[in-house]
Amino acid sequence: MTHEEIVQAVKDIIHTIAPDEEIGGLNLTDPLRDQIELDSMDFLDIVMELRKRYGVQVPEDDYKELATLQGCADYLAPHLADHELVTNA
Amino acid sequence: MSRSTHYFTGSRDGKRPSSGDALDKAKDHYDVVVVGSGLAGLTAANILGRAGHSVCVLEQHYNFGGMATWFKRRGGHVFDISLHGFPIGMKKTCRKYWGTSISDRIVQLEGVRFDNPQFQFNTTFTREDFTHKLVDVFGCASRTVEAFYETLRAMNYYDDDGRTTAELFEEFFPGRNDVHRLLMEPISYANGSTLEDPAITYGIVFSNFMSKGVYTFTGGTDLLIREMRAILARNGVDVFGRSQVDEITVEHGRVRGVRVGTREIRAETVVSNAGLKATIERLVAPDHFDDAWLDAAKQTKLNCSSTQVYMGLGPGEDLPWIADLFFTSTRPEFDSASLADLHGQSRTFSFYYPKVRPGTGRHTVVSSMNANWSDWADLSESDYAAAKARLEEDTLKALEVHVPDIRSKVTHLESSTPRSFAFYTQHTGGASFGTKFEGLRYSMELPQQIEGLYHSGSVGIIMSGWLGAANYGAITANKVDARIASLAADAAPSS
Ligand SMILES: Cc1cc2nc3c(=O)[nH]c(=O)nc-3n(C[C@H](O)[C@H](O)[C@H](O)COP(=O)(O)OP(=O)(O)OC[C@H]3O[C@@H](n4cnc5c(N)ncnc54)[C@H](O)[C@@H]3O)c2cc1C
């Protein structure tokens, strides 16, 4: 996946976890929690969904890397290079 | 194999002999065995089943839900045990981990009321209304109130500064026993904590709980658990009642499975939703733990237990509108520990109007008090019966003040005590709300002691109640899912 696709992948996951939140306008650099209502439980769900969809393991110590969309893309890029984007069913 | 003479736990009345083998249909191996069907156990099981793992839940009682339960009595009475109210967060938690068929039934309570010698009023139980009460009724400076909220919001699990809740209150509202009562009483009832517990537990719970109202589940606990079971079945989770786990088996520092009577069911991962103390003191043989860890973990203290009085009104009987949830006390001053006094002066009433179970037209009232195991544990049978009779009488008297003809409306009266809660859940000390704060650490460290063994359930004050338990189930499910994925990765041939 490219950086853009990873951002899309994370947005897709956020959409399934927080369907009421408007994710179209999310920017890359502000913390996700400042842009939409996401709590620490939601971050766990994002991590679990990443594992399910892409087989990527994010250790607890690295959760902080996922704070922004840019952070997600940077952190996940090496893990997801060989994966295809999975679209929401 | 017939076991018709064997009476399973949860049958103190001896009326329900277990016939046949409850585990007849159980497989010999699962990815995950969950011990206990409380909201933490069920939620973990559902998430893991949905993720495609093979999961089984073993519950010693014939009913499911743990403390999230109900009972029926002749005459069409249905009583809920722990459906007094929960924070709004439960709606989102249920939507994510169970789906909208459950979350759509979660609605806000319309009336919460306080009545004690220091104040009497209704509240919406929202941040705005608490501010209004503190500023306009109690005369606190709005600056102070805002600073108090801000301090609470900033608190997080990792920076416990050792302050007690009493010290926190004294800092912001010195000498204001009435303010302390408003801020503490609902939380003491919700999780058994007292003014002596760490301020951090108060801060976390307050921010979740006393901010956007109190919520309930339309249809009652029976409907909730029935729906959860249907969802579990769709997600392929095997659920067995009347299955007492006697031991969690361990081999070479790793969990191997569970033993129910003479049968062992093997599993890579075991999630214990039994109480933390029962898990480490009864279910796992002590030699599997590090001695120092076990000794320290055993020091964990428990939250209080409860007493309840259940009052069922006859068909066609009406109740005046008072509130959904009513906090009452005749004690002149507040002191959180005294909420658990034997035959004390403080109790809550939950009024279940017909809207709770639409279509039934029935009213019930459940009164709850906090209670200490030690006051009830050693009573002789006759003293126990007398103490229960007094509890019922005191409760009716307290209710008569608000509903003068209540005695003529009630056609079923019954009570439960710490002994009942211990009996039905096997929780040490009949603990209604798990352990004190320190227990959270031992709960989370369990897998470092025994690979593949996790604890999930009311613990540490902050992880209790319906919401805390369900969320802890989700947290544990995430850890278990990670473990299963890494076991699979280790087993896969390297490319
Ligand atoms: C009187 C009362 C009122 C309450 N009111 C509210 C309220 O209004 N709102 C709220 O949010 N919370 C309330 N609570 C708290 C809330 O009910 C609990 O915190 C929550 O339901 C606990 O869930 P849990 O997952 O920790 O497990 P529990 O509900 O404690 O369940 C544990 C389960 O494990 C089973 N088990 C134990 N050992 C074994 C074994 N060896 N083998 C097989 N099964 C085993 C038990 O039988 C039980 O079913 C109340 C509690 C009480 C007692």
Residue A61 forms part of a structural domain = yes
Instruction: Look at A31-35, B14-18, B388-392 and tell me which has the smallest mean pLDDT.
Output: B14-18
Residues of B in contact with A44 (CB under 8 A): 474-475, 478
Q: How many whole angstroms from its chain centre is CA B119? A: 28
Q: Token match 């352990």: residue? A: B435
Report how far residue B192's alpha carbon sits from residue B461's, in angstroms, rounded to the nearest whole number. 8
Residue A21 forms part of a structural domain = yes
By residue range, what is the domain housing residue A51?
Answer: 3-80
pLDDT band at B13 (very low <50, low <70, confident <90, very high): very low
Backbone dihedral region of B252: left (phi > 0), alpha (psi from -120 to 50 degrees) or beta?
Answer: left
pLDDT the model gives residue B2: 39
pLDDT the model gives residue B20: 78
SS3 B52: coil
Are the beta carbons of A51 and B481 separated by less than 8 Å? yes
Residue A68 forms part of a structural domain = yes
Asked if A70 and A6 count as a contact pair (C-beta separation under 8 A), the reply is: no
Residue A85 forms part of a structural domain = no
Are the beta carbons of A51 and B93 separated by less than 8 Å? no
Q: What is the CATH number of the domain that holds A67?
A: 1.10.1200.10
B93, B96, B98, best to mutate vs chain A, most A CBs in 10 Å: B96
SS3 B129: helix
The string of pLDDT tens digits covering residues B336-372 is 999 999 999 999 999 999 999 999 999 999 999 999 9
Q: How many domains does chain A have?
A: 1
Q: Token match 């679209």: residue? A: A87
Average pLDDT value over all residues in chain A: 93
Q: Is the pLDDT of residue B10 over 60?
A: no
Asked if B444 and B457 count as a contact pair (C-beta separation under 8 A), the reply is: no
**Mean pLDDT in residue range B7-31:** 73
pLDDT band at B15 (very low <50, low <70, confident <90, very high): very low
Which of B8, B23, B82, when mutated, tests ligand 1's pocket best, judged by the most ligand atoms within 8 Å of its CB?
B82
B92, B94, B155, best to mutate vs chain A, most A CBs in 10 Å: B92
CA angle B273, A37, A89 (to 5 degrees): 75
Residue A62 forms part of a structural domain = yes
Instruction: Look at B4-18, B318-332, B368-382, B402-416 and tell me which has the smallest mean pLDDT.
Output: B4-18
Instruction: Look at A62-71, B148-157, B277-286 and tell me which has the smallest mean pLDDT.
Output: B148-157
Please count the other Cβ atoms lying within 10 Å of the Cβ belonging to residue B154.
Answer: 10
**Mean pLDDT in residue range A46-75:** 94
Q: Residue B21 C-alpha to ligand 1 middle, in angstroms?
A: 25
Which of B214, B273, B307, when mutated, tests ligand 1's pocket best, judged by the most ligand atoms within 8 Å of its CB?
B273
The string of pLDDT tens digits covering residues B20-52 is 789 999 999 999 999 999 999 999 999 999 999
Backbone dihedral region of B20: left (phi > 0), alpha (psi from -120 to 50 degrees) or beta?
Answer: left
- What phi and psi values does residue B215 have, to the nearest 5 degrees? -125, 160
Residue A89 forms part of a structural domain = no
pLDDT the model gives residue A87: 81
